[in-house]
């Protein structure tokens, strides 16, 4: 069975989207999949292969996934902590990064996950600059002044991690994933 490319996407909020031929032709995001059982099936069978391509196994067929941001999307949960779109809870986070646009990213083992923008306000409650609570103004100043010497930290499950800066255009190389896998010609 041939692999399938371009027909499924993961948006920056962790929703699966179906992308038919017309959607692909106009590079539209596609229709959000609302069927609970189908989303659960995709989540159970989703992985990232050795080449850094998001994919899920649909019986004998491998369906490759277009990524709006990163291979995984994280959400905050007041009880569980950080959970991926697949339902996996991150028991530990190795690194926390912030892009120049203020997009939080979590690295846990071999997984990199962008935080759903709707959860950023909740996430910010655990941020500190030099030990002090962070406001929007403080965070914007920190982002604008990379050499200001202030230390941004995030507390998660009893651990305090230093937040590092990263460039959006460096993500694909740094974490070795492919946002738009396509069949080799």
SS (H, E, C) 129-161: ECCEECCHHHHHHHHHCCCCCCCEEEEECCEEE
Q: Tell me the whole-structure pTM to 2 decimals.
A: 0.94
How is residue 167 written in tokens? 């460039």
20-65 pLDDT, tens digit per residue, is 999 989 989 999 999 999 999 999 999 999 999 999 999 999 999 9
Reduced to 3 states, what is the DSSP secondary structure of residue 162? strand
pLDDT of residue 147: 77
H-state helical runs in 75-158: 120-124, 136-144
State the Cα–Cα distance between residues 159 and 3, nearest whole angstrom: 41
pLDDT at residue 7 greater than cutoff 90: yes
Q: Give the chain's domains with CATH numbers.
A: 4-68 (3.10.540), 72-173 (no CATH)
Q: Give all strands of the β-sheet with 61-67 in edge-to-edge order.
A: 31-32, 16-18, 4-10, 61-67, 54-58, 46-48
Average confidence score pLDDT of the chain: 95
Mean pLDDT of 116-126: 96
Q: Which residues of 47-77 are buried (b: 16+ CB within 10 A; e: fewer)?
A: ebeeebbbbbeeeeebbbbbbbbbbbbbbbe
Mean pLDDT of 153-169: 95
């Amino acid at each position: 069975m041939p692999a399938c490319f371009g027909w499924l996407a993961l948006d920056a909020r962790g929703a699966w989207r179906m992308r038919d031929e017309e959607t692909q032709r106009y590079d539209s995001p596609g229709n959000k999949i609302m069927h609970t059982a189908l989303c659960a099936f995709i989540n159970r069978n989703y992985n990232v292969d050795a080449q850094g391509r998001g994919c899920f196994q649909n019986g004998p067929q491998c369906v490759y996934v277009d990524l709006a941001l990163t291979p995984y999307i994280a959400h905050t949960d007041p009880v569980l902590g950080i959970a991926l779109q697949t339902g996996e809870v991150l028991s530990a986070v190795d690194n926390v990064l912030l892009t120049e646009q203020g997009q939080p990213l979590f690295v846990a083992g071999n997984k990199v996950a962008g935080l759903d923008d709707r959860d950023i306000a909740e996430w910010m409650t655990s941020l500190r600059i030099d030990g002090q609570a962070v406001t929007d103004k403080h965070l914007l100043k920190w982002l604008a002044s990379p050499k200001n010497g202030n230390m941004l930290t995030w507390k998660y499950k009893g651990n305090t991690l230093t937040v590092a800066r990263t460039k959006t255009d460096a993500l694909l190389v740094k974490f070795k994933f492919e946002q738009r896998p396509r069949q080799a010609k």
